[in-house]
Amino acid sequence: MKVLFCTREYPPYVYGGAGVHVEYLARELSRLMDVEVRCFGDQDTKNDQLRILGFKADELHLENTKTEIAPIFNTLNTCVQMNSGVMDADIVHCHTWYAQFAGILSKLCYGTPLIVTTHSLEPLRPWKKEQLGRGYDASSWIEKTAIEMADAVIAVSAETKQDVLKHFNVEENKVSVIYNGIDLDEYNITSESSALDKYKIDKSKPYVLFVGRITRQKGIIHLVNAIKYIDNETQIVLCAGAPDTEDIGREMKNSVEKVQQNRQNVIWIPEMLSKKEIIQLYSHAAVFCCPSIYEPFGIINIEAMACNTAVVASSVGGIKEVVVDGETGILVPLEQEKSAPFEASHPDKFSRDLAAGINKLMAAEQLRETMGTNGRKRVEQYFDWKAIAKQTEDLYKTILKHAKN
């Protein structure tokens, strides 16, 4: 069997959880079958049963095209290029809407069975209009078309499966739940601390950590607004880069500078760090905070838990299937606007509640340690990539069996 992954993200060009997912799933599946990854970029490697091939389409003449629309056309152009050359895979497996157009073309032109993993869903990310303008309508159409024509859909959590069934015309038996995973050897607690020295984090003081992109979805502004309610002795480390838009980038900058006027222990690292550095930050953090307002799974939480770190996270989406409230961390309810889903109806209350959860764990070292230990055990039990790759292989076999019949 051979599977072809179509994805925007693949190392070294990874900026979100989908890219992490593709990297590790492709690696584990390549131990079981031939895997070819076609991605956006200039990669070109071959290692045993894993082939990585980057695509960068010829530049279109878009000089007079609206800034927010031009990337859509370049994305579609790249997806067309990804269908060139030899297409000999038994299965095409697409990740995120950016690469789903490639899967659509593959199924239509080559007749290859199509599988789509739903890392997030456009109907539940209305703030993407800020970034894409009318391009959001195009991305939504691509996603809907791919999901509804797919031979199988993988949801990364049970709640995401329900979201798929609610927003798309898909038969329930076509949607399988397969969680994200983690490399248990790589993501493990470490005593190394060079990253803390590099970013001037005081190793004698406990800190709460955020890791993620600057986007509405990740809720970073809610955490920044919570800082004024967090105990003054607690360091705040915000590892936050790659803003979705210039506007939210400015909002983040202004918000952080405002809180830094009143306390000196707020450290903002406005860049995407290496895995080694991130693992060090996870390992030495007293608490990891995930304030997302929408999160189909939340791979960052299992990364923190794998490093024995207690988690304070919003009680939304797949996070509720990852973090066990009272055992591996604290889940913070997020009351949302009925007229504007995935917006906090009481943002200051949400910020206060995040701070309360953080303060509770900061004041209880033994509880933090117990939650950290429990978190590691939970990750080992449920989120091992080897088991997840086997589940994915089984799904491929089922699809191919049906295709032959």
Same domain, 169 and 217: no
Tell me, what amino acid is at 124?
A: L
Same domain, 32 and 170: yes
In a domain, 188, yes or no: no
Average pLDDT, the chain: 93
Same domain, 340 and 208: yes
For residue 66, what pLDDT is reported? 77
69 or 401: which carries more pLDDT confidence? 401
In a domain, 187, yes or no: no
Same domain, 164 and 243: no
In a domain, 294, yes or no: yes
Same domain, 104 and 226: no
Q: How far does the chain reach from its first CA to its final CA, in angstroms?
A: 17
d(CA 224, CA 227): 5
Same domain, 209 and 243: yes
Q: What is the mean pLDDT of residues 4-14?
A: 95
Tell me, what amino acid is at 162?
A: Q
For residue 340, what pLDDT is reported? 58
Tell me, what amino acid is at 152?
A: A
pTM assigned to the model: 0.87
Note the pLDDT tens digit of each residue in 338-379. Answer: 655 556 777 899 999 999 999 999 999 999 999 999 999 999
In a domain, 186, yes or no: no
Note the pLDDT tens digit of each residue in 83-100. Answer: 999 999 999 999 999 999
Please give the C-alpha separations between residue 222 and each of 31, 208, 352, 355, in angstroms, as whole numbers.
Answer: 42, 14, 9, 10
H/E run at residue 357: helix 347-362
In a domain, 170, yes or no: yes
Same domain, 237 and 320: yes
**What CATH number should be reported for the domain holding residue 356?**
3.40.50.2000
Same domain, 67 and 106: yes
Same domain, 163 and 288: no
Show the tokens assigned to 33: 């079958």
Same domain, 248 and 348: yes
Same domain, 18 and 161: yes
Same domain, 137 and 206: no
**Structurally, how many domains does the chain consist of?**
2
- Domain span at residue 154? 2-181+384-400
